């Protein structure tokens, strides 16, 4: 069984997927505009990186849903408008504070909700902390891994930044608002590289176990 990743064709997807740092972890990279059911033969875990053109994902949503319904694990990262194509996803926009770490006595809002989840043996919580684009309301019985409290300005009730949903489909949906492919692939924000340094080998272990 193998690990596959969708490739949106941008320079940052190119750098993250085909760059020397991670390319050996992926068994298959699937160019999103050509994505078809046969690409998922033998695939156990498919990563949908952040910032794939959401029109392409909406047009191929049934392939993704069928994969999860067959027992596959789908990792869906941020800025993909997953709420428009993936079952169970409810997302609320929150204006991005890129500058939280410059504020006086800066403390990140993120909270580690499930410290015993297997992911955190591979990815230290500290490596999941950077700005975020909106919050998720996980389906009932999904496990929230990281969340944030309600917006200080009352624009949302808070919610998850990362959850693990083994309920909505026969497989597993790991859904996040985080956007590490974009920032790592843009040669910016070392936290996102540290995140992928732990996350991608973990995903590979899940895919090949």
Partner 1 sequence: MKPALALSCGFPDGAMANLTSHPDAVGRITARDTYDLPALDLNAFGSLLVSMHIDQRFLASRAEQIAGFLHDGGTVIANGHLAYPFLPGITGFHPLENYGLGDLAVLRLIDHPIWAGVSENELTFRRGVAGFYGRAWHEPPQGATIVHALGNPDRPLDFIYRIGKGRVLFHGGNDLWQYGGADSAGRILPQLLNWMFSGESAS
| Contact call for residue 97 and partner 1 (CB under 8 A) | no
Using the contact rule CB under 8 A, the part of the chain among 26-34, 115-123, 149-157, 200-208 near partner 1 is 26-34
Q: Which of 1, 23, 31, 62 binds partner 1 (CB under 8 A)?
A: 31
| Contact call for residue 9 and partner 1 (CB under 8 A) | yes
Using the contact rule CB under 8 A, the part of the chain among 29-37, 60-68, 117-125, 147-155 near partner 1 is 29-37
CB of 20 to partner 1, least distance (A): 11
- Tell me the C-alpha distance between 7 and 34, whole Å: 10
Residues 134-173, one symbol each (x = binds partner 1 by CB under 8 A, - = not), give ----------------------------------------
For 155-189, give one letter per residue: b (16+ CB within 10 A) or e.
eeeebbbbbbbeebbebbbbbbbbbbbbbbbeeeb
- Tell me the C-alpha distance between 35 and 39, whole Å: 7
Using the contact rule CB under 8 A, the part of the chain among 52-60, 63-71, 119-127, 142-150 near partner 1 is 52-60
In the complex with partner 1, which residue's Cβ is closer, 15 or 145?
Answer: 15
- Tell me the C-alpha distance between 193 and 107, whole Å: 21
Closest CA relative to residue 174, chosen from 201, 209, 136, 208: 136
Q: What is the number of alpha carbons within 13 Å of residue 126 lying toward its C-beta?
A: 2
Q: Which residues bind partner 1 (CB under 8 A)?
A: 7-12, 14-15, 31-33, 51, 53-56, 79, 81, 99, 102, 186-188
């Amino acid at each position: 069984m193998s690990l596959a990743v969708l490739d949106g064709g941008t320079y940052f997807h190119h750098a993250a997927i085909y760059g020397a740092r991670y390319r050996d972890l992926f068994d298959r990279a699937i160019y999103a505009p050509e994505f078809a059911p046969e690409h998922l033969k033998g695939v156990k875990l498919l990563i949908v990186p952040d910032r794939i053109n959401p029109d392409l994902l909406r047009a191929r949503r049934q392939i993704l849903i069928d994969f999860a319904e067959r027992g596959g694990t789908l990792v869906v990262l941020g800025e993909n408008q997953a709420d428009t194509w993936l079952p169970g996803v409810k997302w609320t926009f929150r204006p991005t504070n890129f500058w939280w770490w410059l504020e006086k006595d800066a403390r990140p809002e993120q909270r580690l909700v499930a410290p015993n989840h297997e992911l955190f043996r591979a990815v230290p919580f500290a490596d999941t902390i950077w700005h975020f684009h909106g919050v998720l309301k996980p389906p009932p019985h999904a496990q929230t891994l990281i969340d944030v409290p309600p917006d200080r300005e009352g624009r949302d009730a808070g919610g998850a930044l990362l959850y693990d949903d083994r309920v909505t489909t026969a497989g597993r949906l790991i859904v996040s608002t985080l956007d590490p492919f974009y920032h790592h692939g843009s040669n910016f924000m070392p936290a996102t590289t540290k995140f992928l340094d732990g996350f991608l080998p973990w995903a590979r272990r899940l895919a090949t176990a």
